[in-house]
Structure 1
Amino acid sequence: MSAHTWGSLDDASARALMEEALAAATGEGVTFADVRLVEAEEERLYTDLRGELDERREHNAGLGVRVLRNGIWGFASAPVDGAGSAAAVARRAVAVAGASTGTAPVRLAPREPTSGTWSVPVDVDPFEVPAGERHDLLQRIVTAASAPGLVRSVTAGLNAKRQHKHYADSEGSRQSQHLVESGAMLLAVAADERGAQRRSFPNSFHGNTAAAGWEYVLGLGLEDEATRVGEEAVALLGAPQAPGGTADVVIGPAQLALQIHESVGHALELDRILGDETNYAGRSWVQPEDIGTLRYGSPAMTIAADPTMPGTRGSFAFDDEGTPASRHLLVEDGILRDVLSSRDAVARHGGGAGSGSDWPGAARADGWAWLPVCFATNVYLEPGEGSLDELLDRMGDGYYADDNRTWSIDDRRMAFQFGTEAAWEVKNGKRGRLLRGFSYGGLTPQFWGSLEAVAGPEEFKAYGMPCGKGEPKQWGFLGHGASPSLFRGLSTGVAR
């Protein structure tokens, strides 16, 4: 499928508008300018036990211009609405920079200009799937999940998004990216006089979304999984409460994806390390001088940032300030090697790891109306070896837990507690009783220091997740993944 067959702007028209804006982004003191033109279309469809459909479709196209004038950023944006609008946006950005003040001049890390075009490979365009087919699938999912009598609520949903993203700057970079996402979610809640319990699929955190077409949704096996989800929600009503104490735990990939996001991804954003997010979303326990030497976890912990990995919500060829995507190890054998960054933050940090002409480009913006900020890309725990069964056998006695239910972490990304939807008691390496109310907590370096082993690539799962950051707040969409992993001596029962 071609990713260029929809929308109001073809690539040539987009390039003309960006050149118009760059030509107007001039004046005394202007040393750099970049232009992003984004056209996006999004569709969300939900249904529930009542059979009511909630369908929403949105479309927007606009231009954002950023200029560096006398060391101060200026930014302006507007919808694309005809000839002359691009130049007007650029002139407004120059004026904003001229009217602004700053305590230190912004510098940009050196970078060679890069041009190219990239598209997400798609077999079936999710926007071309007939409405009846989508509606029927959701209804079958709801019917399957609600079969057990104590299931009181079921919500099933589908989502799709496609974007044309174009970038140009005064240094000579010219880039176009054509992105497509598809996803689905299911949530079942069972209730009786004992309380309420929930189960989700394919992830409790807004389902799962991949850089792919409708073929991804079909491959999830939603109808079959819906039967299991409903049955487990009911089973949890009568399941024993997970005990507290200290225990060995194998944590599943869905829960680990959120753990990575909260205790690694956010903690390794360079803008947060440098203090930019202090007044809104906090800082990081990591200090600038730690980059390259800090022991973040055990030797079993290797974390990569790799937007070039296909199929994830954090996949791209260029970030939103034109830095080419590349694979970087953030943590290698437990040692902090690099951080997620934007171009100006790299220059501010200076020297050592995470600086120079090659860095994990992670400047992302929630469309054309926003300035890029540092968001995680596709950040994941590198697989080890062996199957889940082999990992449980290695653990011996303990618990297997997955699918997030509650989470909390402090503003330094240090102290945290998480609760999971479900857990299973493990005896002699075999899964036994289903347990409710499982939770665990700890401190980030001690937690990752207790990691003993990670299952192999055959057990690896990737998850696409939303994330809010910045002031005013904007949404970033990113990827995290992991194989089930064994942690020794965790504190459990901390979130009761």
Structure 2
Amino acid sequence: MTAHTWGSAHDDAAARALCEVALGAASGPGVEYADVRLVECEETRLYGRHGGARDERSELNLGVGVRALREGVWGFAAAPLGDEADVRAVAGRAVAAARAAAFEGTERVTLPPRPPSSGRYATDVTTDPFTFSGRYGLLDQALAAAGAPEKVVSAEVGLNAKRQHRHFADSEGSRQHQHLVESGAMVMVFAADEHDVQRRSYPNSFHGNTAAAGWEYVESLRLVEQAARVGEEAVALLTAPVAPSGTADLVIGPAQMALQIHESCGHALELDRILGDESNFAGASFITPDALGTLRYGSPAVNVTADPTVPGTRGSFGWDDEGTPAGRRELIREGVVVDFLSGRDSAARLGLTPIGAARADGWAYTPVCFATNVFLEPGSGSLDELLDRLGDGYYVDDNRSWSIDERRWNFQFGTEVAYEVRRGRRGRLLRNLSYGGVTPRFWGSVEAVAGPEEFRAFGMPCGKGEPKQWGFLGHGASPTLVRGVRIGVA
């Protein structure tokens, strides 16, 4: 089967027909609900290292996953897509798995009824990233620019693209098709001398950034120009003064804030962790189920939303993988927790409306709770105005390292860059700044967030579950002023 088969109108009809076959087979005595996801995913990655050969990898997979809720117990099965008989077999195994799991003491799930939701959703794309022919030239030019400074010892550039056709159908009458496209790039540079090694990255640390868009997003990054900049900055960091230890006021840039949100808000607000159902990889949560409307998470300047309807980031979609429509929801309002990230069954246990955060890494996995687009809402004013309000302190951005405990309570982050700020003006470059704290104290110390013109969003990967699956999501913020932060490592 070719990469484009299920994108045509004819084969969309064939996919829908197979979904109906699966639903028909996922039936029988005691089956209260069933859903099917038929997913085709094509992905390509191109990497290059300064002085080395290119590394290009492509992947295409197509399969079907079926969930069945029988007498309050879930069953799930999945397989690569073959013919109609394979689809029937997968559905039958899902029902059999639910029957086998219904031993004494198994907690029963009740799904409140909901109206069906059907339709189509597609990422807005100007240039198909799979047909753009200039990627090799761009890779080579960016590598040359990043590796040009004398003390650069390693430079890596990556380009990536992904597209998915996702068909969903359930026994409640929902029928959905989503066509999702992502494009991204990264530059990472290491510089070294006899005393130190320093790293700079663009447009975000580690994996760069990936957006829900076509190749036009990669073009907007001005990769060659920015690769030259990060190479020069990595070298400059080798001789920059070491950042001090103590207590300081910080303005934290959007890239670092994105990870701060992910680690100390996103994971902590996942309802499966709060209920104790999940603690793998990222631990549990210090938040308790009775926190809604009572737990002060931060200052009145802290407003956090989940909004997969915002286009352009990896957490953007029309429906989650349980068929729940995307919608904007407040998680923290003026510092107080007002909602959780949830799927259907976890929300039902607390009598809540699901937020649409049940997502799966393709057809082979059952949906689990992942963040969608979780944003710190902007305040007002420019970065310059925020620095002026800061007075004396530091501007930090781009993550170098992170650590957070299993309850999302104590954390520590290191940043790639820091700048000394005196009387509201950014000054000399500093290296090796780290900061840490306790989650509600940190967010309680947020004094102000810059305005929407300074807002930046970043697409991020996240691992969860056993067997492990990847969730792809978005976090964003404007530069944020935080007072009295512990900096440095004793």
TM-score of the superposed pair, with normalisation by structure 1 = 0.96
What is the CA distance between 1:181 and its match in structure 2? Answer: 0.1
Correspondence for 1:126 among 109, 125, 129: 129
Q: Which amino acid aligns with 2:115?
A: E
Per-residue CA deviations over 1:113-164 (Å, capped at 9, x if unaligned) read 100101001000000012xx11110111111111110011000000000000
Write out aligned runs for 1:28-427 (5 A). 28-101=29-102, 103-130=106-133, 133-278=134-279, 281-350=282-351, 355-356=352-353, 359-427=354-422
Which shifted more, 173-182 or 105-114?
Answer: 105-114
Aligned residues: 485
Q: 1:348 deviation in Å?
A: 1.2
Tell me if 1:462 matches 2:457: yes
Aligned mates of 1:6, 1:320 — CA distance in 2: 18
Note the C-alpha offset of 1:83: 2.5
Change (3 A) 1:6 1:80: closer
Identity of aligned residues (%): 68
Report whether the alignment pairs 1:436 with 2:431: yes
Q: Is the 8 A contact 1:307 1:316 kept in 2?
A: yes
- Within 2, Cα distance between the matches of 1:280 and 1:237? 34
- Which residue is 2:477 aligned to? 482
1:336-369 CA-to-partner distances (Å, cap 9, x unmatched) read: 110100100011122xxxx04xx31100000000
Deviation at 1:51, TM superposition (A): 3.8
> For residues 80 and 126 of structure 2, what CA distance do their matches in structure 1 show?
31
Residues 272-295 of structure 1, C-alpha deviation per residue, up to 9 Å, x if partnerless? Answer: 000011365421111000122211
Q: Distance in 1 between matches of 2:152 and 2:195?
A: 13
Of 92-101 and 455-464, the range deviating more from structure 2 = 92-101
Unpaired runs of 5+ in structure 2? Answer: none
- How far the C-alpha of 1:213 sits from its partner, in A, is 0.1
Alpha-carbon distance in structure 1 between the residues aligned to 2:44 and 2:7: 14
Secondary structure at 2:267's aligned position in 1? helix
Q: State the shift of 1:444 in Å.
A: 0.4
**CA distance in structure 2 between the partners assigned to 1:244 and 1:220 by the alignment:** 34
Q: Using the alignment, how far apart are the partners of 1:372 and 1:381 within structure 2?
A: 25
Distance 2:390 2:280 in 1: 42
Give SS of 2:84's match: coil
* C-alpha distance in structure 2 between counterparts of 1:139 and 1:73, whole Å: 50
Q: Is the 8 A contact 1:305 1:327 kept in 2?
A: yes
Deviation at residue 393 of structure 1 after TM alignment: 0.5
Q: Which letter does structure 2 place at the counterpart of 1:35?
A: V
**Matches of 1:259 and 1:318 in 2, distance apart?**
26
Work out the CA distance in 2 between the residues paired with 1:188 and 1:479: 24
The residue aligned with 2:25 is 24
Deviations 1:286-342 (A, max 9, x none): 100012221110000000100000001000010000000000010011111101001
Q: Displacement, 1:6?
A: 6.3
* Rounded Cα–Cα distance in structure 1 between residues aligned with 2:147 and 2:382: 32
Q: Which residue type is aligned with residue 450 of structure 1? A: S
Amino acid at match of 1:118: Y
Specify the code of the residue in structure 1 equivalent to 2:406: D
Provide, for residues 422-446 of structure 1, a one-character-per-residue CA deviation record: whole Å limited to 9, x for no partner. Answer: 1000001111110000000000000
Encode CA deviations 1:363-391: one digit per residue, 9 max, x unaligned.
00000000000000000000111111110
CA shift for structure 1 position 111: 1.9
Moved more, 76-85 or 263-272: 76-85
Shift of residue 91 of structure 1? 0.7
- SS in structure 2 at match of 1:346: helix
Give the residue type in structure 2 aligned to 1:290.
A
Q: Is the 8 A contact 1:20 1:87 kept in 2?
A: yes
Distance in 2 of aligned mates of 1:448 and 1:85: 51
Following superposition, the deviation at residue 110 of structure 1 comes to 3.1
Secondary structure of the structure 1 residue equivalent to 2:130: helix
Comparing 290-299 with 320-329, which one deviates more in the overlay?
290-299
Aligned letter for 1:360? Answer: I
What residue identity is the alignment partner of 2:72? G
1:279/1:5 CA distance change after superposition, 3 Å: closer
> Does structure 2 retain, via aligned residues, the 8 Å contact 1:41–1:57?
yes
Equivalent AA in structure 2 for residue 162 of structure 1: R
In 2, Cα distance between the equivalents of 1:305 and 1:110?
A: 23
| Alignment partners' CA distance in 2, 1:10 and 1:312 | 28
RMSD, matched Cα:
1.3
> Residue type matched to 2:207 in 1?
H
